[in-house]
């Protein structure tokens, strides 16, 4: 796995600090609220696990799964719900936790759909943001690291379902894509 990485962009150390910072902010902003953190599987699962432990106020968690990508690196524009939430959203302060905000289509679709279930509030939290690639009008309320327009893997992010378990984030060697 390591030999497929061309270079490391963000070390474990760097990621830990970014996550701690977001967790601290969320803990302040959601004091006295009914925080429900929703992780969008599978990419955000590593971030979610670290972020929820950086949050120091009571919260509950839930998961949903959608598919917006095939095995390639470009968006298909198709968002399909594979697993819905278990929680009723009434009265909840929903925080959508994503790995990366790219075109924005996935989060935009999910947010619209969940809005209709009457939560008290909805905000978006993403660890990585690629603003250059946005195709819909959407911004994260919490965002950790602004990344260049490159395909990154690790810390939950995959290429063809692999590399999610790398503890750091890096860029793949070009030959990996042609394998």
Answer yes or no: 102 catalytic.
yes
CA distance 152 to 147: 9
Name which of ligand IMP, Mg ion, none residue 100 binds, using a CB cut-off of 5 to 8 Å depending on partner kind: ligand IMP
Dihedral sign for Cα 68, 159, 135, 113, please.
positive
Stretch that binds ligand IMP, among 15-23, 56-64, 116-124, 147-155 (CB under 6 A): 147-155
Stretch that binds Mg ion, among 42-50, 125-133, 147-155, 163-171 (CB under 5 A): 42-50
Question: CB–CB of 152/9 below 8 Å?
Answer: yes
Taking the least distance from each CB to ligand IMP, the nearer of 55 and 172 is 172
In the set 101, 127, 145, 166, which binds ligand IMP (CB under 6 A)? 101
Categorise residue 118: left if φ over 0, alpha if ψ from -120 to 50, beta otherwise: left
Displacement of CA 82 from its chain's centroid (Å): 17
The reply on whether position 169 binds ligand IMP by CB under 6 A is: no
Contact residues: Mg ion, CB under 5 A: 43
């Amino acid at each position: 796995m390591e030999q497929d990485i061309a270079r490391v962009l963000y070390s474990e150390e760097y990621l830990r600090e970014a996550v701690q910072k977001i967790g601290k902010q969320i803990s302040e902003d959601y004091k006295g609220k009914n925080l429900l953190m929703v992780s969008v599987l599978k990419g955000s699962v590593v971030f979610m696990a670290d972020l929820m432990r950086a949050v120091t106020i009571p919260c509950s968690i839930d998961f949903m799964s959608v598919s917006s990508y095939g095995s390639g690196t470009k968006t298909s524009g198709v968002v399909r719900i594979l697993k819905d939430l278990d929680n009723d959203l009434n009265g909840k302060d929903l925080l959508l936790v994503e790995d990366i905000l790219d075109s924005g289509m996935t989060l935009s679709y999910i947010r619209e759909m969940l809005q209709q279930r009457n939560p008290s509030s909805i905000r978006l939290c993403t660890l990585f943001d690629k603003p250059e690639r946005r195709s819909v009008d959407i911004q994260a309320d919490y965002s950790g690291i602004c990344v260049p327009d490159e395909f990154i893997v690790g810390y939950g992010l995959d290429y063809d379902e692999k590399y999610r378990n790398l503890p750091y984030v890096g860029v793949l060697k070009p030959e990996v894509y042609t394998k």
